Chain A
Amino acid sequence: MIHDMQVEDIVGDYREASLQCYGAITRKVYYTQIETPYPDGKLIVSTSTPDGVITHVNRAFVEMSGYREEELLGAPHAILRHPDMPAAAFKDLWDTIQRGEKWQGYVKNLRKDGGFYWVKATVIPNIRGGQLASYTSVRRKPSRTKVEEAMQLYSTLS
């Protein structure tokens, strides 16, 4: 289940947007220009069901997202979706992993407090007994050069 963001959670001046998540679902988000730097040496790790519902998060995921673990478990991964991320990037992600392949890309994630953080994300299908059981997503610190290239590219995509 995904809820609208709450104004009282937001830190700093914010803007408002409505995001289309998973087609029919609309989510109201509030976002600021405050970036949280990616922590050196850490990996942000999560596992989700084949339809994108979070089933496991590590401590770095909790710290960077600003959500409590219990708010994340059972929520769709789209809880982190930032309005600056083009739908085309996520379509490519889903098309790739649904073919059973690994996806890698640069993602701007939305924090609970409206701020953001950039990651280099890798998502792989977890195959157990020959069947798709889940997806694991691992994020690591991106270079600023790659982030700037991604910002440039995403601004041209819808």
Chain B
Amino acid sequence: MTLQFTVSPDFAPDRLSGWYIFNTWLQKQTGEAIHLELYNDFQSQRNAIAAGKVDLIYANPFDAAMLVREHGFLPLVKAINTADEALIAVRAESGITDVAQLQPGVRVAFTSHPDVHLIGMIMLEPADLGSDNIVPVAADSYVLVAKHLLKGEAEAGIFPAQAYDNLSAMVKSQLKVLVRSQISVIHHALLAGPRLQARRAEIQALLINMNADAKAVEILKSLDFGGWEAVADEAMEFMIDLMDTLNT
């Protein structure tokens, strides 16, 4: 039986080869045939999960509740010292210095990445802004969010903090950050589906020990990870509950 591994569609494009190399490593270590299937968007991935096709997923925290509570996935690991944070930016020359100055009808650029969108919208709430009174400007990538701002096609943009930090110095010099989240406890995680759970502890140990092997460390570097750390069931449940409080 071939198992299916998938990655949250919000992964950075330059990590694509890293995920394939990681999957090859995982197959060798586990002796399992594992197919890496990458979906173009979250809805396609959710459809595959609902159809029972997915056995292992590097999941967006927004989907964790659905995976764990509806489809019986269990947490394995998360990348060490990583957290999903978001920020709101405007053009540097804009007179806006505080989110509270943004007015209803403001054009806000963002991508379809659900956790970043959720955190970003929460940071717009102090301005009494929500999905019912902003003008959404959909973008396929965070570079395009920046472009919408620079071209004056949006007044505010929602970015993942890490992606914003990785924008070129020239682009960042033309933008300014109004607010950056400091939540710390929302993160992507690798989750095992029901067919993999008999080997959960073994796979978890393999992943945590990647740091002890020089070749495996190179694979981690290709994913921009410093290593994996275990995620306990209760820690995952806590994050799911926390996401639930934010999703209202």
Contact = CB atoms under 8 A, between A and B. Distances in A.
Contacts of B242: 43, 45, 136, 138
Given A141-B126, A143-B128, A136 B248 contact: no
Interface of B: 87, 99-100, 122-123, 125-128, 179-185, 234, 237-238, 241-242, 244-246, 248
Given A42-B182, A42-B183, A138 B125 contact: no
A14 B159 CA distance: 43
A143 B246 contact: no
Interface string A90-117: 0000000000001010000000000000
A40 B179 CA distance: 6
Interface residues of A, number: 28
A143 B130 CA distance: 12
B128 A146 contact: yes
Contacts of B248: 102, 104, 122
A42 B244 CA distance: 16
Nearest to A142: B126
A62 interface: no
Contacts of A140: 122, 125, 246
A124 B248 CA distance: 11
23 contacts: A38-B126, A39-B182, A41-B87, A41-B181, A41-B182, A41-B183, A42-B183, A43-B183, A60-B182, A102-B248, A122-B245, A122-B246, A123-B245, A124-B245, A126-B237, A126-B238, A136-B241, A136-B242, A136-B245, A140-B246, A142-B126, A143-B125, A143-B127
Q: Mostly helix, strand, loop or mixed at chain B's interface?
A: helix
Interface of A: 38-43, 45, 47, 58, 60, 102, 104, 120, 122-124, 126, 128, 136-138, 140-146
B183 A126 contact: no
A144 B237 contact: no
Nearest to B98: A40
Contacts of A142: 125-126
B183 A141 contact: no
A60 B182 CA distance: 9
Nearest to A38: B126
A141 B238 CA distance: 21
A59 to B, nearest CB: 8
B35 to A, nearest CB: 34
Contacts of A122: 245-246, 248
B148 to A, nearest CB: 22
B179 A138 contact: no
A45 B237 contact: no
Contacts of B100: 143-144
A138 B122 CA distance: 12
